[in-house]
Structure 1
Amino acid sequence: MKTSISRKGFIVANVLILLLLSLVTAYPILYVLFASLSNPADYLAHQGLLLKPAGFSLEAYNLVLENRMIMSGYLNTIIIVVTGVTFNLFMTSLGAYFLSRNNVLWRNPIMMIIVFTMFFGGGLVPYYLTVKGLHLDNTLLALIIPTAVNTFNLILMRTSFMNIPEEIIESSTMDGATHLTVLFKIVLPLSLPVLAVMVLYYGVGHWNAWFNAMLFIRDRDLYPLQLVLREILVQNNTEAMLVGTDSFDKGLVAETLKYAVIIVATVPILALYPFLQRYFVKGMMIGALKG
């Protein structure tokens, strides 16, 4: 079949619009990257769009990698992400499996109570008092245990589990398999796409979290990376990273230093996404539709 002129024009227009949107989306990231690699003096003298590094300097990255708080924050954040995501997946899969079974007593009322928490919460003060009452404050556990299960993720995983044929589970239980055996050896291996989505959601959530850390963490050695970034970017506290730098150069280096910190903190998540991308759409569709 021949493609009409109007159809060709529509395709060309779509391609151009999508390319423009891609450039608009990508440019802020490229700007931060180019600014972080720029010579501080050349960067401050530059005006207009930044299409390449203004000069070239790795001084900002050297200062970032030499800073003890950045490295300590990285380590704490990695511990929080790995431990937190593992705990999240374990608790969410247990809850989703329980709520996906047809023979569970009061399943629908329990599900309604869980969904209720998506719209109404107890507030910040009761939350803080609960965490403090459990003696979790000023520990990394305060950033992991209270956020063990996300309601939206629980619903997504439950819907995915409900799509697994009941006959597979029934035949397993007839052969003597326990519920934990069914969950970890049958249900979860059949749900890899939705598990990948959960890893991405929970991982990004833990990586970007800073508010709970600001509430509960007082020991600076326990600061996650995002709380360190908050000090640098929001409170403009770069003095500790510029020790040994000439007073004249401090104001110059501080500008590119902020961009270097953003790149260092963003790269791990950007590197993780391509490995999970192929599961993402499939996992979302499986978890969103009951068929």
Structure 2
Amino acid sequence: MKESRSYKVFKVCNAIILLFIVFITLYPFLNVVAQSFSSESYINSGKVNLIPRGFNIDTYKTVTKDAMFWTNYKNTVVYSVVGTAISMFLTTIFAYALSKKRLLGRKFLTMFAVFTMFFNGGLIPNYVLINSLGFGNSIWAIVIPGAISIYNMLIMKSFFENMPEELEEAAAIDGLNTYGMLFRIVLPLSKAVIATMVLFYAVGHWNSWFPAFLYLDQKELFPVTIYLRNMIAGATGVTSAGATSADNLTQISANIKSVTMVLTILPILTIYPFVQRYFVTGIMLGSVKQ
């Protein structure tokens, strides 16, 4: 069909608006990347925008030579993998159980779960509870307290509710029990929503810093986000590591924040393209009635 002039004008305007939105979205990140490769004189004078000025990688060398940075980086990977695995297991079985109308007390359990989205015990009671359980200075203080996101659970619950009941009825006739239905029928058909939830949880654990700041006292247990937080707060222990002159110290202090942010976000940028195609599908399938 031949496109009308008004439709062509609409497409041009739509493309311009979307390009503008993309630009203003990417600009802060590209600016941080440019600053991480720029020299301190250009950074301090505010001349760095999208292109590095006075190309310099001294700070990258200094940070990557710091053993504590890699220790915290490894901690973040461990916390993210273990935390995501625990969260996915608990969220999946909870959502699957609540999706069954025959479950006794289903409405009460759903209301109880939703209640926790709006009310909690408070910071001090949570701190006392975690330490009384013996979770202080351990991985469990990071991965257990927020293991289930009620928002994510409700999305998965809605997704499971929209699956045809005939599938499970046929599986029951073939002799499968509840666990067999879940692991052999339901989960293989739920790849989109599972990939979406894995992304949500992984990014959440990767970016999390406050639980570690609250419950961990040993630097060897900190995630890399605490390392970044200390840099932003003005910590100088790492900036002096590997610095051999006053010029190096000045350079490092000028772009240590941008360098650390770039190194921290790289894994997420690497993984995201592989799960992005499931993202919209998983959200829509879990929230829209079929």
Short-chain TM bin: over 0.9
C-alpha deviation, 1:245, in angstroms: 2.9
Are positions 1:72 and 2:98 aligned together?
Answer: no
Provide the C-alpha distance between the structure 2 equivalents of 1:182 and 1:266, rounded to a whole number of angstroms: 38
Residue 239 of structure 1 is matched in structure 2 by 237
Contact kept, 8 Å, 2:92 with 2:153, in 1: the verdict is yes
TM-score (norm 1): 0.95
Q: Map of 1:250-269 to 2, 5 A cutoff?
A: 250-269=249-268
Contact kept, 8 Å, 1:225 with 1:265, in 2: the verdict is yes
Are positions 1:35 and 2:23 aligned together?
Answer: no
Provide the C-alpha distance between the structure 1 equivalents of 2:186 and 2:117, rounded to a whole number of angstroms: 26
Residue 4 of structure 2 is matched in structure 1 by 4
Are positions 1:182 and 2:187 aligned together?
Answer: no
TM-score (norm 2): 0.95
C-alpha deviation, 1:251, in angstroms: 2.4
Deviations 1:37-57 (A, max 9, x none): 112334334x44523111212
Deviations 1:77-99 (A, max 9, x none): 00001111111111111101111
Identity between Structure 1 and Structure 2 (%): 38
Supply the RMSD in Å over aligned alpha carbons.
Answer: 1.5
Residue 122 of structure 1 is matched in structure 2 by 121
Whichever residue aligns with residue 262 of structure 2, its letter is I
Provide the C-alpha distance between the structure 2 equivalents of 1:167 and 1:190, rounded to a whole number of angstroms: 14
Deviations 1:132-189 (A, max 9, x none): 1110011111000111111011100111111111111122223222212211111111
C-alpha deviation, 1:102, in angstroms: 2.1
Residue 280 of structure 2 is matched in structure 1 by 281
Are positions 1:44 and 2:44 aligned together?
Answer: yes
Provide the C-alpha distance between the structure 2 equivalents of 1:2 and 1:172, rounded to a whole number of angstroms: 51
Residue 110 of structure 1 is matched in structure 2 by 109
SS in structure 2 opposite 1:188?
helix
Q: Map of 1:61-100 to 2, 5 A cutoff?
A: 61-100=60-99
Contact kept, 8 Å, 2:35 with 2:48, in 1: the verdict is no
Contact kept, 8 Å, 1:242 with 1:250, in 2: the verdict is yes
Provide the C-alpha distance between the structure 1 equivalents of 2:254 and 2:116, rounded to a whole number of angstroms: 42
C-alpha deviation, 1:241, in angstroms: 2.9
Provide the C-alpha distance between the structure 2 equivalents of 1:238 and 1:10, rounded to a whole number of angstroms: 53
SS in structure 2 opposite 1:146?
coil
Residue 193 of structure 1 is matched in structure 2 by 192
Tell me, which stretches of 5 or more residues in structure 2 are unaligned?
Answer: none
Provide the C-alpha distance between the structure 1 equivalents of 2:285 and 2:151, rounded to a whole number of angstroms: 14
- How many residue pairs align between the two structures? 289
Structure 1 stretch 187-196 or stretch 33-42: which is displaced more? 33-42
Structure 1 stretch 203-212 or stretch 124-133: which is displaced more? 124-133
Provide the C-alpha distance between the structure 1 equivalents of 2:59 and 2:47, rounded to a whole number of angstroms: 22
SS in structure 1 opposite 2:235?
coil
Provide the C-alpha distance between the structure 1 equivalents of 2:261 and 2:244, rounded to a whole number of angstroms: 21
Tell me, which stretches of 5 or more residues in structure 1 are unaligned?
Answer: none
C-alpha deviation, 1:253, in angstroms: 2.1
Provide the C-alpha distance between the structure 2 equivalents of 1:226 and 1:275, rounded to a whole number of angstroms: 24
Provide the C-alpha distance between the structure 1 equivalents of 2:237 and 2:287, rounded to a whole number of angstroms: 48
Provide the C-alpha distance between the structure 2 equivalents of 1:21 and 1:91, rounded to a whole number of angstroms: 37
